[in-house]
Amino acid sequence: MLTVVIGFTSALIYGSADFLGGLAARRMSAVLVTAIAALTGLVVLLVAMPFFGGTWSAGAVLLGAASGVSGAIAIGLLYACLAVGPMSILSPLTAVVTAIVPLTIGLIGGEQLGTIGYVALGLAVVAVVMVGFVPEKGAVRPTLKAVLMAVGSGTAIGTILVIIDAAPDDSGLIPLVFNRAVNAAIMFTIVGITVVMARRRNSGPAHATWRDGLYLAIACGVVDTIANVGLLIGVRLGDLSVMAVLTALYPTGTIILAAVVLRERIAPVQYAGLVLAVAAGAMLALN
């Protein structure tokens, strides 16, 4: 029961972080948003680490660093596709892919799903089709580029879950610290290489907008780190497959905020797809 509570709570927090990251990416480059969020998260983790303890080991460091590389790819693609929008469509698509990746790894590794689990996987695929189908004029419509970025992001996020789950149970927050350190190093390196281009995108009257984006990116980093800590605790208390599916429900937070703040409109069939995706996630969690 505790794992379920942690999973759903982390999902809502993840969704809020993604919303903030998507808004920030509309004011500055997605690469810079990812870098600032990662650095902010690293600071938060370094402050919190003494309270969580943890045993240092090569496995904790290397797996944490590997997840940081995957995270740089995942979050960069995620914030970029959310900046293009619509958030209410791309976020659920990313989530479904995120859940399927660890489940697939588990099945290949010998884990077994019950009948309800396989039915849920089928429903998840149908949900993806429904969510991406826009029959009504005026309804939000994702571009192919945005869809491909969402799928790529979901695959990378699912990989992070697998890597973090493999980290030693006694490592505390050490894997997350190296995740953020490597993530921030990669993204700031890219920012440095593309600084001229970044300045052109944020030149002139965009100064105030850039400053707003900075605040949003920092807030995103704090919120995302809280969700990551919840994920780490969850996979250590319960099964990876259950936590993966529960945290994949994070679009709930993004959709709620997108609907309230951005007034995004989606078609009825897409609402049905979202409901089906949530139902599939619940079935997988109960499997």
pLDDT score, position 204: 47
Distance of CA 227 to CAs 43, 47, 187, Å?
Answer: 15, 16, 20
Contact, 33 vs 213, CB < 8 A? yes
Domain span at residue 24 reads 2-286
pLDDT score, position 37: 92
Tell me which residue of 82, 63, 13, 11 sits closest to 41, measured CA to CA: 13
d(CA 266, CA 178): 39
From first to last of its 287 residues, the chain has per-residue pLDDT tens of 677 778 878 888 988 998 998 889 888 877 888 889 999 999 999 999 998 888 899 999 999 999 999 988 887 788 788 778 777 678 777 877 888 888 788 778 776 767 887 787 778 767 766 765 555 555 567 788 888 998 999 999 899 989 988 999 899 999 999 999 999 999 888 888 876 665 665 554 444 557 778 999 999 999 999 999 998 898 888 777 777 777 777 777 777 787 788 877 766 777 787 788 778 767 766 66
d(CA 251, CA 33): 19
Q: Within its chain, how far is the Cα of 9 from the centroid? A: 14
d(CA 51, CA 174): 12
Instruction: Name the pTM for this structure.
Output: 0.77
Please count the other Cβ atoms lying within 10 Å of the Cβ belonging to residue 204.
Answer: 6
Distance of CA 78 to CAs 98, 108, 222, Å?
Answer: 12, 27, 17
Look up residue 207 and give its amino acid.
H
DSSP 189-224: HHHHHTHHHHHHHT-GGGHHHHHHHHHHHHHHHHHH
Distance of CA 242 to CAs 59, 98, 237, Å?
Answer: 24, 12, 11
Sign (positive or negative) of CA dihedral 12, 18, 24, 26: negative
For helices 144-166 and 87-108, angle between their N-to-C axes, nearest 10 degrees: 40
Could you tell me the maximum CA-CA distance found in the chain, to the nearest angstrom?
Answer: 59
Domain count of the chain?
Answer: 1
pLDDT score, position 217: 93
Residues in the chain: 287
d(CA 136, CA 267): 7
